[in-house]
Structure 1
Amino acid sequence: MNTSLLQFSPGAFLAPVVDWLNTNLHPLFSAISTIVETVLSAIEAALLVLPPPAMIAIVVVAAFFAVNLRGAILAGLCLGFCLIVGFWTASMQTVALVTVAVFISVLVAFPVGVLCARYRPLEAAVRPVLDVMQTVPPWVYLIPAVMVFSLGRVPAIIATIVYGIPPMLRLTTLAFKQIPREYIELGSAIGAHPRSVLWKIEIPLAKQTLLVGLNQCILLSLAMVVLAGLVGAGGLGAEVTRGLTRMEMGLGLRAGLAIVAVALLLDRLSRGLLDRNRPSAAAR
């Protein structure tokens, strides 16, 4: 009996579960993989359809009107660096991966965060789950994702989504809990539909904290790109992994600096949008 206990391992229990999932839910997993790959390929094609100088010019102009002159200059410098070091395609692949992961993370975290702000028992039930999600090392998420979806970009997207949901969900809950009840009661008193109260009163008042949550979600998602390269997701993470496996310091350093450039670009642009919206929010 003692020998059997010593020989017991969680893998012996989980292996049949994974086999059952792959056998019985294979059509579902295949459909998810096809959808994710299609969306990723479409975004990558859109980012790579124009020559790099033309795309950089478009991003610079958009950053100038959306943020300010400083943001436009920073966008040009960061994207220009990615082009000069020879990682333009890999950088756009990374941006596409982060875009899809952040979109799905927000799509999941926002409604759940709103519900948690309104129903305290739900918040109490979700909080331990978020604690576990933020405590478990991020590369651990890759293991079950790879078991189910095999190697490639799909498990990288799944792991990135799981890693990016907690900050967005927590800050969404905080944002809606901080809204003064007087505004909500005023909307109800004038006969506004709850949906109108949400979109015309609550979301504008919570916008600053929501943008902070979006910024954190973007940065945490981008932090997964190196780990994503370990499972064949491509992008800058694959270049870093290639530099490590081949012991090519120059390749790894250039890819690492390109990741820093993309992170700096996304962080400063999101923060610029936040700072630009702050005066109008204060005026309200």
Structure 2
Amino acid sequence: MIWSNEFPQIADATLRALSKTIDAGYLSFSRAYGASIEAFFEPLLYFLIWFEQLLLGSPWWLVIAATAGVGYLASRSMKLVIGIVIALGLIGLFGMWENTMRTMAMILVCTLLSIVIGIPIGIFMSRSNRGQKMILPVLDVMQTMPSFVYLIPVVMLLGIGRVPGLIAVVIYAIPPVIRLTNLGIRLVDKEALEAADAFGASRFQKLMRVQLPLALPNIMAGINQTIMMALAMVVIASMIGVRGLGQPVLQAVTNQYFALGLFNGIAVVVLAIIFDRVTQSFGLRLQKHREGTR
């Protein structure tokens, strides 16, 4: 009975001591290395600012035409092109163009960074069962951790601004492209690999000419999911100074502006639908091409 009364107090004291130790350790780490880490990410910040200014400085009709052109190249569908033109036109008509371009710049940069980092990790996982067993629990934590938690360490380390938001978005959104790259390469037909071996292909040649092309539909599905998760996280990242459609949504929640939140929320949905349809259409075309070449 005494033990049952003392146990909650001991557990609470232990938890508080552990929390203080972790907080003090991370705080000392951020003070010692925060400036160096911030300098390391400066080129990424310059690229993000340049790309954002490129979208904001370009004529609206050119941005719509370029987006519609990418949509047509990916899908070969005029319905999708017309939908993109109408959707982006309505966004501009309702005065949300600048915030939409900022959000689009953030999403595209985050997706590009996720691809550059995620695909090599997925390739490594596909080649090493031990590496897969080590990385999968990390991906599980990244996907199940509440999204707000990602904001705490990056803000303590880098402060408020674009780069902390970008890092938080990438951490939250990168798991799908890693998982599906690994899965796609592992699902490549053994007969195709045996044929490549028969022609004397090296491991690098098999990867570039057999495994990655055949796994591309799965990789595109991973990129699609990464974009969707990045869009969801960008709204949350507005809490730490990421400019775009998330800030009016946050302002609407704070001040109870229903119309403001509704319109900007719809703009986020429109962007999500455009990215989803473009990437899905491209993935389906790759799948049909793959089936047609069998």
TM range (shorter): over 0.9
Structure 2 counterparts to residues 154-233 of structure 1, below 5 A: 154-233=163-242
Alpha-carbon distance between aligned partners in 1 of 2:15 and 2:117, rounded to the nearest angstrom: 40
Task: Give 1 or 2 for the bigger CA radius of gyration.
Answer: 2
Alpha-carbon distance between aligned partners in 2 of 1:212 and 1:121, rounded to the nearest angstrom: 25
Give the match for residue 102 of structure 1.
Answer: 111
1:248 maps to amino acid: Y
Q: 2:71 aligns with which of 43, 46, 63?
A: 63
* 1:10 positional shift: 4.3
Contact 2:220 2:279 in 1 (8 A): yes
Give the match for residue 23 of structure 1.
Answer: 31
Q: 1:125 aligns with which of 134, 144, 167?
A: 134
Give the match for residue 245 of structure 1.
Answer: 254
Q: 1:189 to 1:91 in 2, by over 3 A?
A: same
Q: Does residue 13 of structure 1 match 2:21? A: yes
Give the match for residue 275 of structure 2.
Answer: 266
Alpha-carbon distance between aligned partners in 1 of 2:53 and 2:42, rounded to the nearest angstrom: 16
- Cα displacement string for residues 166-220 of structure 1 (whole angstroms, at most 9, x for unaligned residues): 1111111110110112222221222222221111111111111111111011111
Contact 1:81 1:258 in 2 (8 A): no
TM-score by length of 2: 0.90
Alpha-carbon distance between aligned partners in 2 of 1:127 and 1:33, rounded to the nearest angstrom: 26
Give the match for residue 48 of structure 1.
Answer: 56
Alpha-carbon distance between aligned partners in 2 of 1:249 and 1:124, rounded to the nearest angstrom: 46
Alpha-carbon distance between aligned partners in 1 of 2:197 and 2:249, rounded to the nearest angstrom: 54
Alpha-carbon distance between aligned partners in 2 of 1:114 and 1:6, rounded to the nearest angstrom: 42
- Cα displacement string for residues 241-265 of structure 1 (whole angstroms, at most 9, x for unaligned residues): 1111222112111111111111111
Q: Does residue 234 of structure 1 match 2:259? A: no
The 10-residue stretch of structure 1 (27-36 or 209-218) with the greater mean CA deviation from structure 2: 27-36
**Count of matched residue pairs:** 284
* 1:6 positional shift: 6.4
Alpha-carbon distance between aligned partners in 2 of 1:153 and 1:196, rounded to the nearest angstrom: 39
TM-score by length of 1: 0.94
Other structure's SS at 1:8 match: helix
* 1:19 positional shift: 2.6
Structure 2 counterparts to residues 134-145 of structure 1, below 5 A: 134-145=143-154
Give the match for residue 124 of structure 2.
Answer: 115
1:268 maps to amino acid: R
Task: Say what the alpha-carbon RMSD is for the aligned residues.
Answer: 1.9
Other structure's SS at 2:245 match: helix
1:77 maps to amino acid: I
Structure 2 counterparts to residues 80-95 of structure 1, below 5 A: 80-95=89-104
Alpha-carbon distance between aligned partners in 1 of 2:51 and 2:27, rounded to the nearest angstrom: 33
* 1:63 positional shift: 2.1
Contact 2:126 2:183 in 1 (8 A): yes
Give the match for residue 277 of structure 1.
Answer: 286
Contact 1:33 1:149 in 2 (8 A): no
Q: 1:81 to 1:209 in 2, by over 3 A?
A: same
Alpha-carbon distance between aligned partners in 1 of 2:13 and 2:201, rounded to the nearest angstrom: 63
- Identical residues among aligned pairs (%): 31
Q: 1:6 to 1:186 in 2, by over 3 A?
A: closer
Alpha-carbon distance between aligned partners in 2 of 1:202 and 1:54, rounded to the nearest angstrom: 37
Contact 2:74 2:279 in 1 (8 A): no
1:15 maps to amino acid: D
